[in-house]
Amino acid sequence: MARKPRPGLEATQTKGFLRAHKWLILRRLSQFGILGLFLLGPLAGIWIVKGNLAYSETLEVLPLTDPHVLLQAVMAGVVPHQDALIGVAIVVVIYMVLGGRVFCSWVCPVNLVTDLACCTRRMLDIRSSTQISRNSRYWMLGITLVLPLVTGSIVWELVNPVSMMFRGIVFGLGMAWLILVGIFLFDIFVSKEGWCGRVCPVGAFYSLLGSKSLVRVVAEDRDKCDDCMDCFEVCPEEQVIRPALKGADKGIGPVILSGNCTNCGRCIDVCAEDVFHFGSRFANEKPIAAKTEERPFVDAA
Amino acid sequence: MAGSGKGKGRGVNRRQFMGNLLRTACGVGLMGMGLGMYSRQASSLPAMAIRPPGAIPEDEFLGACIRCGLCVRDCPYDILMLGQLGDEVVAGTPYFTARTGPCEMCEDIPCIPACPTNALDHDLTDINESRMGLAVVVDQETCIAFLGLRCEVCFNVCPIRGEAISLDYQHNTRSGKHALFIPIVHSDACTGCGLCEKACILEEAAIKIFPTHLAKGELGKHYRIGWREKEKRGRALVTPDQEHQYNLPEGVRYDLQGKGLIIESENKGEELPVTSNPLDTLNRGFGEQ
């Protein structure tokens, strides 16, 4: 696999900077926007959203609950309050439509850390990588659900970097930055995409939640692919691209169906040939008339 | 099972498959064990951190609280904090410190309805029924009331004044002529709000809020307080009470729980074998004997 120091350079040259970074910019806006909304209260006294990613209330009416955290609480023997259940239902529906791991790439604050690590790794040209199975995260997910059952306490939330980083920024970080530095170094020196792609049980949960979700990246114009490998280089879950992009002669449809795809849209950005678009999972069923229109992508906030 | 995602999934034989599986299981299992043990260690709440009103017992609380911080946001006095990593309090769980910011005991208890998981019990609607902890007069050597000085600050700031903390008047043996105003906490009324600890005038408070299980003793289950049982039943439980017969000279009675020795007044004129007043003996003089 030929590695390029600057994947997406060609796309920037042919499409212009903005179009070649469209989804990346939107994604950062979403990530910082969500953090900003939560910070407006404590910093400026404007209470649009209260709480954090575990559970929040928007404008005093809209509850949103993290289904993974609530599931752990239920495993520990909790009967949630009605608001929490409504919040879970809303969140589950949102991610079943937009794609489960949209949480990972559009909401999760740790993504900023791991993206930075990935970027650093590429710039320093570090290739060594400890082989950690991408399935480890499902084992981790299992552990996070079994431990509350055994101990009666939400054990994973003692160390969960995802909730800890977000809560830390909104309520006070404490020593949690140590864990984030740890993840940053882990992703650079120990394993490529190590945290988000191999270990994180929160991501694993959303992978499963969104395994049948509607909005998908579709390699509609895969016949235009010129094998530049830029999409593989930027994709945090590169194994999900191959079947859709290269499966034409095996009769595999152009939709990226893996629940591990985070719908980050970076492959769409870096492709100079505009092979990829956002579409629906049903685009697979009419592979010839594959000219479905690009769906407007609503962010997950 | 394309385990590593590097495309070598096709040629995996049984040995490799089992190897990969066991390696992952081992790693994750070790991590889980470490987490489980860390959780036991981390779950001990330091005595000075008090949970918000309505918090269910600590071991259940750690399973129910999803660390959302809404109780913190809805506290009008901003006394609640979330534990941070590195604090002694479990990260993300709410607490307050009585000495710096006690619970102001809002009548509508806004922190409770904010809780989405009943970690703060929604059935608690009367703040006076909450039991966040228990105030304890921990140091009689420095509390100035015990020194005989007037203070009573804890008694006066107590929101359940007179019931949760009362003043017990005792004789000041040092001066011989003053009273001590000793604060006494009553666990049947104290909510553990911490206003007394905040108000204590000492450098280090002599009255402190402790978690109830640390502050309270507990009688053995088999203990029966005799006089209370008797009161409940209306009579003695074992054998019927028999009045004690005192073997005393005529005209003298003995009241066990009252006045003690009583010399009947009708017998005033007569010589008594015993008199309670030593002056009588002196006045009588020795010669008459």
ipTM for the predicted complex: 0.78
What mean pLDDT comes out for the span A70-96?
89
Residue for token digits 């079943």? A96
Helix ranges (DSSP H) in B43-110? 58-64, 70-74
CB contact under 8 A, A150 and B74: no
**Of A226, A157, A235, A167, the residue nearest A197 (C-alpha):** A235
The sign one gets for the Cα dihedral A11, A13, A14, A17 is positive
pLDDT of residue B146: 92
Interface A-B: count of C-beta contacts within 8 A = 172
pLDDT of residue B272: 57
Mutation target for A interface from B45, B61, B73: give the one with most A CBs within 10 A.
B73
CB contact under 8 A, B91 and A57: no
pLDDT of residue B102: 93
Q: Is the pTM of this model over 0.90?
A: no
Contacts of B17 (CB under 8 A, 6+ apart): B1
Question: Rounded to whole angstroms, how far apart are CA atoms A295 and B51?
Answer: 48
Both tokens of B150, joined, read 């007037």
pLDDT of residue B273: 62
| Residues from chain B contacting residue A81 (CB–CB below 8 Å) | 115-118, 122
| Residues from chain B contacting residue A135 (CB–CB below 8 Å) | 1, 3, 24
CATH code of the domain made up of A9-17+215-285: 3.30.70.20
Residue A150 has pLDDT above 70, yes or no: yes
Contact B165, B185 (CB under 8 A): yes
CB contact under 8 A, A155 and B36: yes
| Residues from chain B contacting residue A148 (CB–CB below 8 Å) | 63
CB contact under 8 A, A174 and B116: no
Give the nearest partner residue to A151 out of B31, B36, B66, using CB atoms: B36
Among A39-43, A95-99, A144-148, A284-288, the range scoring the smallest mean pLDDT is: A284-288
Q: How far is A293 from chain B (nearest CA, A)?
A: 31
Domain ranges of chain A: 9-17+215-285, 24-209
Contact A138, A204 (CB under 8 A): yes
Contacts of B246 (CB under 8 A, 6+ apart): B253, B254
Instruction: For residue B182, give the H/E element and its range.
Output: strand B179-185
Helix ranges (DSSP H) in chain A? 9-15, 17-20, 22-39, 67-75, 82-98, 102, 110-123, 136-151, 161-171, 176-185, 194, 201-209, 230-234, 241-246, 266-270
| Residues from chain A contacting residue B83 (CB–CB below 8 Å) | 174
The pLDDT tens digits for A225-280 are 888 888 888 888 888 888 888 877 877 888 888 889 999 988 898 888 888 889 88
The 10 Å CB-count burial string (b at 16+, else e) for B259-268 is eeeebeeeee
What chain B residue is nearest to A160 in terms of C-alpha separation?
B91
Give the nearest partner residue to B62 out of A50, A136, A153, using CB atoms: A153
| Residues from chain B contacting residue A207 (CB–CB below 8 Å) | none
CB contact under 8 A, A176 and B118: no
% of chain A at pLDDT higher than 70: 93
Q: What is the mean pLDDT of chain A?
A: 84
Contact A203, A218 (CB under 8 A): no
Give the nearest partner residue to A164 out of B1, B31, B85, using CB atoms: B85
Torsion from C-alpha of B237, B240, B244, B250, nearest 10 degrees: 150
Q: Which domains does chain B have, with CATH numbers?
A: 40-130 (3.30.70), 133-234 (3.30.70)
Q: How far is A6 from chain B (nearest CA, A)?
A: 22
Torsion from C-alpha of A162, A163, A165, A169, nearest 10 degrees: 150
Q: How far is A238 from chain B (nearest CA, A)?
A: 8
Question: Rounded to whole angstroms, how far apart are CA atoms B270 and A94?
Answer: 104
What letter represents residue B279's amino acid?
A: L
| Residues from chain B contacting residue A156 (CB–CB below 8 Å) | 35
pLDDT of residue B3: 40
Low-confidence spans in chain B with pLDDT less than 70: 1-11, 241, 265-275, 285-289
pLDDT of residue A26: 93
Q: For residue A285, what pLDDT band results from cuts at 50, 70 and 90?
A: low
Give the nearest partner residue to B69 out of A158, A171, A239, using CB atoms: A171
Contact A96, A210 (CB under 8 A): yes
